[in-house]
Every structure is written in structure tokens, then in C-alpha cells.
Amino acid sequence: MINEAARAGEVWRTRPAAERADVLDRVADALLAAADDLWPVAARETSLGEVRLRGEIARSAVQFRLFAGVLRDGGHVEAIIDHADPSATPPKPDVRRMFQPVPGVVGVFAASNFPFAFSVAGGDVASALAAGCAVVVKAHPGHPELSRRVAEVMRAALPDPDLLGLLEGFEAGKELVQHPLVSAVGFTGSLRGGKAIQALIDERPDPIPFYGELGSVNPVVVLPSALADPVGLAEGFAASLTLGVGQFCTNPGLLFVPDDADLLKAITAAVSATTGGTMLTPAICEGFESGVSRLDERLTELARGLAGSAEGAVAPRVYTADLTTFSLGLPEFAEETFGPSAIVVTYKEITDLPEVLRNLPGSLTATLHSADPVEAAPLVPELARLAGRVIWNGWPTGVAVTWAMHHGGPWPASTTPMHTSVGATAIRRWQTPVAYQDLPEPLLPLELRDDNPLGIPRRVDGALSVG
């Protein structure tokens, strides 16, 4: 299958960007047209409901359409032209540079928690196809039938069905990572899973890039000026914590709050009023129960929601600690417990926060709640070093599919914090720069020719041109 994908990819990479864009739009159309058939399959395998799953199918379509727009814009190749200057000392040759698709095949490991948007029809697949690469996906065992059905829908919309391969099983994942024709790998999952993939890559004679999203506690800091509405804060936290039974990569796992009795009372009430549910797989449920058991031994439980009536459902759990106790418990207290669990950390003075924040692991997001930008200003640089996305007076769950979005962060949030798995610049993971020196015009890619036949934005002799 990987060999067939590589063959199809050699043709796909030569297709003009505008043609690839049209194909991505067709994939989006096909996913939406198949929604009535796909979401029931996902519901059976994941316990997620119709509204959530239909919304996720729509999100997958949006991702493909976003990258269609990226291709039509043309800026993703970052074309640069420096004309020759014989009078310079030393003389300068003609050098032209742009991004091109990585050679070979992109391997993608599907995630459990988003059976559409981070799986076979996910952003990694959309961005890799947009870059001009063939993709082989290792299906997640939590939704195998859905993976097959989605792959069928997508292949029917592609000019060559071999552009999208699907593998299943543990050994297939190992084969994917170590196959000589695979040139980069994307992964969304656990820290343990990400380390296992990296170890396999390290065994290759030619190590390849690994873009993994591995784990995140997504700290939220509430400052004193935000205490005017403790009930609203508490309800927002509880809703974000329990969204998707806490199985989003951006659920808030740490909440730093002033030692305020009204806010703590409101958090207790809001969390106690929540209802959990069935987790995606038995293994994820087991991991959650193990994580909260460790917290039970060392922290005080602040609030517990209801488990719900479904078989195997879990209850949301929130613990509390003062800042000193929390700090002494690091790094263990800052380990992600995947599911509806969080620690509420109380502090006395804002000036005590920076030192503790510096000791936290990297996260996808970090959030500030404040009514006073002056009060919050000292903490913004700390959070910007900690996370790939800093949020003001909001909640981290929900990652918009936009040009500017960055969904990554310092280890262990991701293996390469300069890259994102959501947003237009996600395409850069599957590209490599090539510089052409003194080539005759007919031999240059269209993007680098002087007349700019594609009308794309470029930087020419240091000046940016919008095309």
C-alpha cells in the first residue's frame, strides 16, 4: 500500500496547486454528502452523539476547504527571488527559493478523540494532500469501521484512490513509521504513544521529521479583577472541563484562582452539577481512573459531578491545593489526566505565580481571565513561553480552523513547537525548501519565474510583492 501511495504521490505533486485545490473541495463535498451515513457508524464506535459528530464532519469539510484556499492564494510556497548582482562584492548569483512537497509518503496516526477531524478526514491528511503528498493513515482501533467508511468516501473524490491509504493494527503502525518511502509522520495521541513512535523513527537509517501532539494541561489563570462574576467563571470552567467528557486536547486541567471563598463555592456548585459519560475506549477510561486515583491519594477533592446512567460512565472530578502544596508536588501534579479532571490551585499574591508557571510543562493553550490589562501584563510573557496559544477571558476548548491558528506548543504539548496541526501553516510540516541557482527561466518552477504567471505573493530582491 505504501508503494502504491508513493507512485500516486509522484503524479499528485506535479499537479498545479489550483487543480489540487479543486480536489480538496470535492473531498469536502463528499464528506458532507455522506454525513447521514457516517455519523451513525461513529456513534456506535465512540459513544459520541449526533450533534457532536455532525459538527465534526462539518469541521473536517472546513479543513479541506481552508487548504483549498491556501493553495489558491499561493503564499504557502514562500517564493523568494534574489536576482544576480555581478557588481556586488563578492558577486551574487541568481538564487530563487520556494517550498515543495516532501518526497515520498506522509504517515498519519489517527486520534481517538476526534473520529473525523483528527482522523482519516483530519487536518493532517488535508494539509498533507494540499502540500502535494500522498498519505497513508494508521487507523485508530477505537473506530475501525468508521475509518474504513471515511476512507472509501474520500478515495472516491480523489483523482487516484491510492493517494489515501489505510492501515490497521499495531504492527502496521510500526511498518508505516519505518518504511523507507515514508518521509514524515504526524500523530495526535498520548505521550507514551508519541515516545514509542519517536523510538521507532530513531531506529531508521534515515531519521525523518515527527510532528506529534502528545499531551497538555492547558492552565487557566484567574486574576482578582475577574472575580466580579464568580458564578459565570465557575460555570464556564465546568463546561470547558467536561466538554466531550474531558477528552479534548484543550480541556483545562489546571485552574489558578485567588483564594476567594465565593469563587471556590461557585466552582464546587458548578462542577457538582455536571454529568460525565462514557469515555471513548476502555483503555482511555482505565487511564482516567488511574490518574484520579493518584490524585485521591495526595490532594483534597473539591467537587465531583455525576457519572450518568450509561454503562462505564465516569464522573467529573476536581481537586484543590494551595500554591505551595501544588509547587512541591511538581512535576507529578502537572501531568495530564486525560478526561474530566482538574486541579484548582489557590494563590495569595499575583507575584507568586510566575515562578510556578515557569515550572509547568509546555501546553497547547494558556488562558488569562482579567478585567485589567495592566494587572495581567506581567503574566502574558510567562504564558507565551508556556503555550502555543494564549487566550484572554475565554476557555481553551475549541480550536478554530483559521489562517492564524496555532495548535502546538513546547514539549510535551508537541514535538516541534514551531509547527501547528490546525490552521493554514500546518501545510509547512509536509514541505521542504529548495533553492535554484542560476537556472535558465524555462527550467524554473512557475512560482519562481520573473513574469509570475500564477500571480502569487513573492519576495523579490528583498521587497514583498502581493502578486
pLDDT digits (tens, 9 = 90+) for 76-120: 999 999 999 999 999 999 999 999 999 999 999 999 999 999 999
- Residues 446 and 366 reside in one and the same domain: no
Inform me whether the pLDDT recorded for 308 exceeds 90. Answer: no
pLDDT at res. 27: 98
Cell numbers for 429, please give them: 510540516
User: How far apart are the C-alpha atoms of 39 and 28, rounded to whole Å?
Assistant: 15
| Residue 329 belongs to domain spanning | 220-392
Q: What is the pLDDT of residues 193-202, one digit of tens each?
A: 999 999 999 9
- Residues 207 and 226 reside in one and the same domain: no
pLDDT at res. 136: 98
Inform me whether the pLDDT recorded for 346 exceeds 80. Answer: yes
pLDDT at res. 309: 80
pTM, rounded to two decimals: 0.94
- Residues 206 and 224 reside in one and the same domain: no
Please provide the average confidence, as pLDDT, over all residues in the chain.
96
Q: What is the pLDDT of residues 143-152, one digit of tens each?
A: 999 999 999 9
- Residues 238 and 126 reside in one and the same domain: no
User: What is the domain-level CATH number for residue 308?
Assistant: 3.40.309.10
User: How far apart are the C-alpha atoms of 417 and 39, rounded to whole Å?
Assistant: 33
In a domain, 397, yes or no: no
The whole-number average pLDDT for the span 341-352 is 97
Query: Domain total for the chain?
Result: 2
Inform me whether the pLDDT recorded for 311 exceeds 90. Answer: no
In a domain, 410, yes or no: no
User: How far apart are the C-alpha atoms of 467 and 449, rounded to whole Å?
Assistant: 12
- Residues 124 and 269 reside in one and the same domain: no
213 is catalytic: yes
133 is catalytic: no
- Residues 242 and 341 reside in one and the same domain: yes
In a domain, 23, yes or no: yes
User: How far apart are the C-alpha atoms of 134 and 9, rounded to whole Å?
Assistant: 5
Looking at 249, 285, 382, 447, which residue is catalytic? 249
Q: What is the pLDDT of residues 371-408, one digit of tens each?
A: 999 999 999 999 999 999 999 999 999 899 999 999 99
- Residues 136 and 254 reside in one and the same domain: no
User: How far apart are the C-alpha atoms of 316 and 252, rounded to whole Å?
Assistant: 12
Looking at 45, 56, 175, 213, which residue is catalytic? 213
Strands 277-278 and 164-167: unpaired
pLDDT at res. 466: 86
User: What is the domain-level CATH number for residue 183?
Assistant: 3.40.605.10
Q: How many CB atoms lie within 10 A of CB 193?
A: 16
The whole-number average pLDDT for the span 125-154 is 98
- Residues 135 and 250 reside in one and the same domain: no
